[in-house]
Structure 1
Amino acid sequence: MSQLASALRHLAPRRLGWLQRLAATLGPGLVVMLADTDAGSVLTAAQSGAQWGYRLLLLQFLIIPLLFMVQELTVRLALSSGKGYGELVLQRFGRGWARLSTAALILSCFGALLTEMSGLSGVAQLYGMPVWQSVAVLALLIFLMVASGSYRQVERMAMLLGVAELAFLWMAWHAWPQWSHIRQQLLQLPLQDHAYLYLLAANLGSSVMPWTVFYQQSALIDKGLSLADLRAARIDTLLGAVLCQLITAAVLIAAASVFAGHGAVLLDTVPELANAFGQALGPLAGRLLFALALSGGALVATIVVCLSAAWALGELGGRHHALAEHPRAAPWFYAAFALLLLLAAAVVAISPSLVRLSIATGVLNAVLLPLVLVFLYRLARSELPAGLRLQGPYAVLVAALFILAGGLGLFAGLAGALTA
């Protein structure tokens, strides 16, 4: 008994120390996954449920292992090399490929800004504010937020709003889904239908995006984590991936339940979605929770996208963390970012359908997916130390999944877009 008691006394501080390390490490994985459940993901999942019922629900859960594999490789690369994704691409493949990779990231970031501004301006529509006015205010506020460099305070506020995304789980439950319908439609995959393929690509592209890879790798480095934090960082990433897809699945379930029996429904505006979700929880509570949850995800994603663009451009130019510098110290970044914001605001202001614009952005990410996966896989095979290098049966599994996901995203995106 005395030996057992002694062992427990030694074990307790060790376990407490590991839990403290886990608590200190948590953040980058959860933040990037809360951002991943952004306005584009929500609008895409809602349209999927409204148009196809539960036929795209299985995809949300199949994405979890892909999402974890992608982000877990960025964790390995960050903690073992101490370098960002863009810096590693530059070092391993040269400036030409680094420019191509960064161009894909900026294109993805521009698409993300479109979806976040679409979502936030759609929320403003709920309260009678015209889209052109809301995008002008949003563009100004986002630029001032970026120029201020005060990301610690802004990120804390965004995380608090990001918690509102959990409201989608509550809404899905109170939409009273018909489990018999879920069982009936779960394995119905009309892959011959181009409209279905288009939304399949949008769901895939709104889950695995270039800026999530850039962000998490740089955020881990910026936080000062090391290989000693690898296990905790993996848990952080796994929790984030599961939470991300549970929230997305909840949105799809709620939309499918609300529109069950009404046939395929095409949604064009955020108020249409908010009113539909209001049927599940009541007009006031439903609209308010939907607005808070959508805004929370969009705000977190805006911060992550801005940081990703700054880190990537800084790494390509041999500078780091230009986002925290005064605009006069990094005019190249702020001028480019202001131009991106103006272009995004103009596109959102003239778009006839904010929902379809967000879905199209997801499809764009799906088309870019093969490029991201190829670079990530090659880096994991060549830049990691022997103990962490991607090799053996797991490397074969990752390669197979990356080929399947990248090929499916490219085929579904192009095939769906040609007939959309």
Structure 2
Amino acid sequence: MPSTPSAEGQATTPTQSRVVRIFKLLGPGIIAVLAWLGAGDLITSSVAGANYGYAMMWVLAVSLLLRYLIVNIIARFQLCNNQGMTILQGYAQLHPFFGWFLLAYALLMGHLMNAYMIKGAGEALAMLFKIDYPLLCSVAVVLAVWMLVGRNIYSLIEGVMKALLAVMTLAFMALALMSGPDVTGIIKGTIGFSIPPDEGVHGALLVAVSVIGAVAGSVANFVHPYVMRQKGWVGPEHKRVQRNDLLFAVFVGIIINLAIWIVGAEILRPNGIEVNTLADLGKALEMFFGSIGWYIFFIGVFATLFASIAGKTTAFPMLITDAFQQVKPERRERFGKEFHHDPMHKWFMLFILVTPLIWSLPGMPDFVTLTIGVNALNIIGLPVISLGLLIMSNQKSLLDKQYRNNILENIALVFATGLALWVAFQLGVDLFT
């Protein structure tokens, strides 16, 4: 006698099951997009578009391509190495320098990236509630994140924030289409490979370095392997779905970054609006959609920043604890492989959430300048990250031939190392002459 299907089985059609499976598989990619799409992308793309039109579009194209290649190689190494290593273990086994560098780099950038996001979230909240004390709003954001992260209610709040982020993203995409983008200008800017003369408060080279840092060199690119691990993607059998998932994430990132850039080039630049504050960027939506556009922007920005702060406060301590345990291996033997079992994990979380508040004090750099400066600093880590990745992703002792880099991937990593060193040198020359 055939078994009677369960109520759950009766309520789920084959089509519904297929849709559910697809959404479950795309989880890490969606989380990666939310981790990447912070104030860095929002500010650097809008400033580049508003100040320089499409002249530096090639910087965004190169950065997005490098992001895909670097993150894909990082993910593939973690999935396919024959020792079951995390990506940080892979770096640490090359030389102790990599473990110490990545520990210091993750601590520094975790602090600084949360610094501009907490400052921006406080300013957005102050604008929405017409409060003249953004520092108090930043403190409220930090307290809210600390109380909510890791608790059951947070998943609901995170869902609301993602929905608000989606509304703002759709508004920017609609605005980009309505503005009638110059396709010829976009193509010329993408293949132009030139740095235009400085315009506005932020120099062209600094903006270019900030775009590269925010996209290709961001330490947030290391978040993806930890999300994969939580998802249960731990072996070579997950390599194909990981790659497709990452392609989806990068494609969404391209659309969003391009929309923001177009808004800067087609609306802000012709109207002589420089992006020096959040309010300047909000003018674009306000000009086309009225007061509702203003609210969509600031609510969306707050949602973006709050979700990013919470995400980094959750993910960065795992990265930092992993790096710490590479330089102090006895801690992993003592506390096991679950990072949150290590008491230092909570202290690292407190460090990257609370200490950034000093950047919200009166007299500190404004939000836009801080965002561009911090993302430009990401370039410091790119040569070390790409060079180390180049070595370990070609190690015969750890990876079978089919999982090692092909010639194009090796060329891309060499190019990323050279590009980072060149722009860092040029920026140094520009600052000291």
Q: Into which bin does the TM-score normalised by the smaller protein fall?
A: 0.7 to 0.9
Question: 1:69 and 1:153, CA in 2 relative to 1: closer, same or farther beyond 3 A?
Answer: same
User: Where does residue 297 of structure 2 map in the other structure?
Assistant: 290
Contact 2:219/2:378 (CA < 8 Å) preserved in 1?
no
1:242 matched to 2:251 = yes
1:406: Cα distance to partner? 2.3
Question: 1:150 and 1:85, CA in 2 relative to 1: closer, same or farther beyond 3 A?
Answer: farther
Contact 1:54/1:182 (CA < 8 Å) preserved in 2?
yes
User: Where does residue 329 of structure 2 map in the other structure?
Assistant: none
1:377 matched to 2:380 = no
User: Where does residue 24 of structure 1 map in the other structure?
Assistant: 24
Instruction: Measure the CA separation in 2 of the matches of 1:56 and 1:192.
Output: 8
Instruction: Measure the CA separation in 1 of the matches of 2:87 and 2:152.
Output: 22
Unaligned runs of 5+ in 1: 1-14
Instruction: Measure the CA separation in 2 of the matches of 1:239 and 1:152.
Output: 23
Question: 1:42 and 1:395, CA in 2 relative to 1: closer, same or farther beyond 3 A?
Answer: closer
Unaligned runs of 5+ in 2: 1-14, 326-331
1:34 matched to 2:48 = no
Question: 1:159 and 1:192, CA in 2 relative to 1: closer, same or farther beyond 3 A?
Answer: closer
1:182: Cα distance to partner? 4.7
User: Where does residue 167 of structure 1 map in the other structure?
Assistant: 171
1:46: Cα distance to partner? 1.2
Instruction: Measure the CA separation in 2 of the matches of 1:395 and 1:183.
Output: 24
Instruction: Measure the CA separation in 2 of the matches of 1:412 and 1:155.
Output: 41
Instruction: Measure the CA separation in 2 of the matches of 1:93 and 1:158.
Output: 41
1:248: Cα distance to partner? 1.2
Partner deviation per Cα, 1:367-415 (whole Å, 9 max, x = no partner): 3211221222222122742144434423432333323432344235434
Instruction: Measure the CA separation in 2 of the matches of 1:353 and 1:395.
Output: 38
1:142 matched to 2:156 = no
State, as a whole percentage, how many aligned pairs show the same letter.
Answer: 16
User: Where does residue 71 of structure 1 map in the other structure?
Assistant: 71
Instruction: Measure the CA separation in 2 of the matches of 1:208 and 1:256.
Output: 22
User: Where does residue 3 of structure 2 map in the other structure?
Assistant: none
- Size of the aligned set, in residue pairs, is 398
Question: 1:209 and 1:22, CA in 2 relative to 1: closer, same or farther beyond 3 A?
Answer: farther
1:75: Cα distance to partner? 1.7
1:288: Cα distance to partner? 2.4
User: Where does residue 8 of structure 1 map in the other structure?
Assistant: none
Partner deviation per Cα, 1:72-127 (whole Å, 9 max, x = no partner): 11221222244322232233423x43121121122121222023213312322322
Match for 1:119: what amino acid? G
Question: 1:306 and 1:347, CA in 2 relative to 1: closer, same or farther beyond 3 A?
Answer: same
1:276 matched to 2:284 = yes
Match for 1:41: what amino acid? D
1:363: Cα distance to partner? 0.4
Question: 1:413 and 1:301, CA in 2 relative to 1: closer, same or farther beyond 3 A?
Answer: farther
Instruction: Measure the CA separation in 2 of the matches of 1:173 and 1:347.
Output: 36
1:93 matched to 2:95 = yes
Contact 2:58/2:190 (CA < 8 Å) preserved in 1?
yes
Instruction: Measure the CA separation in 2 of the matches of 1:413 and 1:320.
Output: 41
Map 1:15-414 onto structure 2 (within 5 A). 23-81=23-81, 82-94=84-96, 96-127=97-128, 128-129=130-131, 130-146=133-149, 148=151, 152-153=155-156, 155-164=158-167, 165-179=169-183, 182=186, 190-191=194-195, 193=197, 195-225=203-233, 226-262=235-271, 265-279=273-287, 281-315=288-322, 316-317=324-325, 318=332, 319-323=336-340, 330=343, 332-350=344-362, 351-382=364-395, 384-414=398-428
Contact 2:382/2:417 (CA < 8 Å) preserved in 1?
no
Question: 1:157 and 1:185, CA in 2 relative to 1: closer, same or farther beyond 3 A?
Answer: same
Instruction: Measure the CA separation in 1 of the matches of 2:20 and 2:242.
Output: 13
Instruction: Measure the CA separation in 2 of the matches of 1:384 and 1:285.
Output: 55
Contact 2:70/2:413 (CA < 8 Å) preserved in 1?
no
Match for 1:66: what amino acid? L
Partner deviation per Cα, 1:235-277 (whole Å, 9 max, x = no partner): 11011112112211211110111123355x5432111221233
Contact 1:108/1:209 (CA < 8 Å) preserved in 2?
no
1:199: Cα distance to partner? 0.3
Instruction: Measure the CA separation in 1 of the matches of 2:127 and 2:52.
Output: 25
Instruction: Measure the CA separation in 2 of the matches of 1:186 and 1:385.
Output: 35
Instruction: Measure the CA separation in 2 of the matches of 1:376 and 1:300.
Output: 29
Contact 1:83/1:218 (CA < 8 Å) preserved in 2?
no
Contact 1:43/1:358 (CA < 8 Å) preserved in 2?
yes
Question: 1:417 and 1:369, CA in 2 relative to 1: closer, same or farther beyond 3 A?
Answer: farther
Secondary structure in 2 aligned to 1:381?
A: coil
1:42: Cα distance to partner? 0.2
TM-score normalised to structure 2 length = 0.81
Match for 2:367: what amino acid? L
Question: 1:381 and 1:300, CA in 2 relative to 1: closer, same or farther beyond 3 A?
Answer: farther
Instruction: Measure the CA separation in 1 of the matches of 2:383 and 2:188.
Output: 32
